[in-house]
């Protein structure tokens, strides 16, 4: 293929990105995907070299992890009270250029997400979104693609759509909004948008309540919408998952697709993971048993040869279906099993987990804390990962579990359906169930418990999961093709805006 001298410029903006700052799964994606995109070959991009740049708010948490930085731009963002000044610093993280943006609306000692003050978060992320556009303009670096993520950066997509026709600098820039979690739309940011001169949309397809929320505005004006799994993209068009936007999203169906998130496989490798008692791989699976033995001793549980270890890792709330698992386990106490539940979240769910341990002290441990190292030991020790999520846009835990030889028992939703094949198929890698109910969960657990004593069949299922390719490379190539396709499409016209009578 003949080389194209014009690089493919992508501005990737997010609220968090590992290793600089990470709170949740978005940090994994925004830390890994830009690196995977930067590693694409020109042959993947019609001969063009990738030039991927990441913009982040300069959170205080980042200052403890910084390599060298340099000031590259000073700018202002218009506001009702007068222009707000900001600065951008540049650094390199594993080959990717990163812009760290600071300004008064990004408080120096505030958490990444202020769950107690939606107005403060709105101020921070609306400013950051608008600032990202000012930074690249100040640097005279014209992005071909603006790739935003969730509500925190959605305002950049809408602002681009408003100014693209009148600003030659952005005339050819196309936009993508990735949906990692639709229910979080930026509620509370409405007065902030108004103060920054961002008008509400006046489009009859959008519900009135959504016309000044950051995420719906981006869904209206993005040249393309990407859900973080193909099945989640389909679910968004249904009342159960569309959060009141399903009818609107159906009008944008041709611009909606799903690309599954990947996994940083070098960071999740049981053969090299230093936190494990014993390293292992698909060719040395017998060594895995040492991890289970050591973990049971650590947790004060007796080793029972015929009892599988069930693990659950993550946020303790109803979205993750922890309550379904707790109630479901109570229904199968006549079966041999042990369980360890790790995580924090809703105090009521935490309390329910502790109550299960009190009821079943010889079987259950509830570890109510965030503990990344323990999570790794659980993946390497557990026989089954419980993931009864009510919704799961993509999910990484099931991919990690399979890579570590732990078989997932999961609800058939979102990315779980895209990454797990039920054991009723010849090439099954886990156990899936449909209804979000303790009964349906229990049926799946019983199927898994019935297969577990067949050690040869169980081993084959473990090996199939360990050999799945969950790396970022296939997804990065899919994004690369999408970027190139977008550049062949005309940009969406400027949206109709202004206050309408309701």
Do 450 and 478 fall within a single domain? no
Do 251 and 175 fall within a single domain? yes
Angle (deg, nearest 10), helices 150-163 and 214-221: 50
Print the SS3 string covering 291-323: HHHHHHHHHCCCCCCCCCEEEEECCECHHHCHH
pLDDT tier for residue 2 given thresholds of 50, 70 and 90: low
Q: Domain tally for the chain?
A: 2
Of 296, 279, 276, nearest to 287 (Cα)?
Answer: 279
What pLDDT is stored for residue 290 in this prediction? Answer: 97
Do 234 and 375 fall within a single domain? no
Do 366 and 399 fall within a single domain? yes
Question: Is residue 110 in some structural domain?
Answer: yes
What pLDDT is stored for residue 500 in this prediction? Answer: 46
Note whether 377 and 223 are within 8 A (CB).
no
pLDDT tier for residue 110 given thresholds of 50, 70 and 90: confident
What pLDDT is stored for residue 432 in this prediction? Answer: 98
Give yes or no for residue 1 having a pLDDT over 70: no
* Average pLDDT over every residue of 309-320: 94
- Rounded CA separation 141/160 (Å): 15
pLDDT, tens digit (0-9, with 9 covering 90-100), for 341-369: 999 999 999 999 999 999 999 999 999 99
* Average pLDDT over every residue of 328-340: 97
- Rounded CA separation 146/124 (Å): 19
pLDDT tier for residue 499 given thresholds of 50, 70 and 90: low
What pLDDT is stored for residue 50 in this prediction? Answer: 97
Do 21 and 170 fall within a single domain? yes
pLDDT tier for residue 117 given thresholds of 50, 70 and 90: confident
Place of tokens 């100040």: 138
- Rounded CA separation 239/230 (Å): 17
pLDDT, tens digit (0-9, with 9 covering 90-100), for 379-415: 999 999 999 999 999 999 999 999 999 999 999 999 9
Do 211 and 302 fall within a single domain? no
Do 74 and 183 fall within a single domain? yes
What pLDDT is stored for residue 502 in this prediction? Answer: 36
- Rounded CA separation 378/35 (Å): 28
Question: Is residue 271 in some structural domain?
Answer: no
Do 53 and 185 fall within a single domain? yes
Within 10 angstroms of residue 488's Cβ, the number of other Cβ atoms is: 7
Question: Is residue 329 in some structural domain?
Answer: yes
pTM of the entire predicted model: 0.93
What pLDDT is stored for residue 161 in this prediction? Answer: 97
pLDDT tier for residue 155 given thresholds of 50, 70 and 90: very high
Give yes or no for residue 189 having a pLDDT over 80: yes
DSSP secondary structure letter of residue 198: -
Question: Is residue 11 in some structural domain?
Answer: yes
pLDDT, tens digit (0-9, with 9 covering 90-100), for 206-254: 999 999 999 999 999 999 999 999 999 999 999 999 999 999 999 999 9
Do 217 and 75 fall within a single domain? yes
Do 292 and 211 fall within a single domain? no
The fraction of the chain above a pLDDT of 90, given in percent, is 91
Domain boundaries, position 76: 4-261+474-488
Do 243 and 374 fall within a single domain? no
Question: Is residue 501 in some structural domain?
Answer: no
- Rounded CA separation 362/337 (Å): 10
What pLDDT is stored for residue 501 in this prediction? Answer: 40
User: CATH number for the domain including 318?
Assistant: 3.40.50.2000
Which of 22-31, 101-110, 269-278 holds the top average pLDDT?
269-278
Question: Is residue 276 in some structural domain?
Answer: no
Question: Is residue 499 in some structural domain?
Answer: no
């Amino acid at each position: 293929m003949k080389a194209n001298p014009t690089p493919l410029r992508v501005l990737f903006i997010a609220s968090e990105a590992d290793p600089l700052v990470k709170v949740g799964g978005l940090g994994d994606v925004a830390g890994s995907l830009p690196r995977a995109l930067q590693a694409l070959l020109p042959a993947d991009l019609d001969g063009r070299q990738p030039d991927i740049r990441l913009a982040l708010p300069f959170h205080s948490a980042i200052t403890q992890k910084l390599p060298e930085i340099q000031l590259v731009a000073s700018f202002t963002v218009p506001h009702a009270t007068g222009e707000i000044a900001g600065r951008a610093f540049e650094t390199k993280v594993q080959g990717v250029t990163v812009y760290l943006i600071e300004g008064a609306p990004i408080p120096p000692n505030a958490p990444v997400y202020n769950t107690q003050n939606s107005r403060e978060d709105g101020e921070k992320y609306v400013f950051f979104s608008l600032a990202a556009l000012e930074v690249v303009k100040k640097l005279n670096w014209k992005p071909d693609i603006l790739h935003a993520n969730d509500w925190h950066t959605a305002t950049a997509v809408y602002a681009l759509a408003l100014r693209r026709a009148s600003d030659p600098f952005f005339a050819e820039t196309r936009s993508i909004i990735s949906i990692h979690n639709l229910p979080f739309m930026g509620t509370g940011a409405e007065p902030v948008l108004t103060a920054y001169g961002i008008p509400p949309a006046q489009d009859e397809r959008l519900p009135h309540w959504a016309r000044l929320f950051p995420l719906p505005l981006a869904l209206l004006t993005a040249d393309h919408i990407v859900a973080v799994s193909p099945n989640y993209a389909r679910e968004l068009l249904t009342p159960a998952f569309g959060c009141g936007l399903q009818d609107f999203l159906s009008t944008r169906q041709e611009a909606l697709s799903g690309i599954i998130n990947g996994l940083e496989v070098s960071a999740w490798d049981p053969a090299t993971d230093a936190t494990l008692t014993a390293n292992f791989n698909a060719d040395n699976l017998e060594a895995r048993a040492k991890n289970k033995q050591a973990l049971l001793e650590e947790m004060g549980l007796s080793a029972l040869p015929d009892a599988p270890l069930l693990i659950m890792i993550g946020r303790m709330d109803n979205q993750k279906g922890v309550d379904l698992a707790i109630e479901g386990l109570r229904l199968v106490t006549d079966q041999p099993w042990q369980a360890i539940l790790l995580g924090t979240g809703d105090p009521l769910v935490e309390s329910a987990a502790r109550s299960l341990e009190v009821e079943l002290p010889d079987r259950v441990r509830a570890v109510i804390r965030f503990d990344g190292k323990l999570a790794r030991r659980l993946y390497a020790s557990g026989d089954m990962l419980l993931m009864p999520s009510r919704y799961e846009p993509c999910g990484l835990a099931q991919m990690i579990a399979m890579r570590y030889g732990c078989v997932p028992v999961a609800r058939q939703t979102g990315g779980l359906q895209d990454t797990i094949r039920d054991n009723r198929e010849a090439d099954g890698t886990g156990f899936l169930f449909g209804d979000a109910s303790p009964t349906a969960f229990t049926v799946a657990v019983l199927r898994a418990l019935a297969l577990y004593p067949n050690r040869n069949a169980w081993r084959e299922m473990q090996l199939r999961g360990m050999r799945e390719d969950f790396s970022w490379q296939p997804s990065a190539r899919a994004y690369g093709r999408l970027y190139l396709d977008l550049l062949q499409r005309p940009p969406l016209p400027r949206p109709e805006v202004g206050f309408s009578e309701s």
